[in-house]
Amino acid sequence: MIAAAIDQLSRAQVQRLIEDGHVTLAGTVATKAGAKVRLGDPIEVAVPAPEPLEVLPEPIPLVVLFEDADLIVVDKPAGLVVHPAAGHATGTLVNALLHHCKDLSGIGGVLRPGIVHRLDKDTSGVMVATKSDRAHAALTAAFAAKSRGEPGALDRTYLAITSPPPPLKAGTLRTLHGRHPVDRKRFSSKVASGKPAVTHYEVVDKQLDWALVRFRLETGRTHQIRVHAADHGWPLVGDPVYGHKPRTEKLAEVARALGRQALHAATLAFDHPATAAPLRFESPLPPDMQAALAALRS
72 forms beta bridges with 67, 129
List of E strands, 118-194: 124-130, 155-162, 170-179, 187-188
Close Cβ partners of 241 (under 8 Å, ≥ 6 residues apart)? 185, 186, 223, 226, 261
- Catalytic residues, by residue number, are 120
- For residue 180, what are the CA distances in angstroms to 28, 102, 189? 38, 40, 8
Dihedral, CA atoms, 97, 55, 12, 19, nearest 10 degrees? -170
Cis peptide before 240 (omega within 30 of 0): no
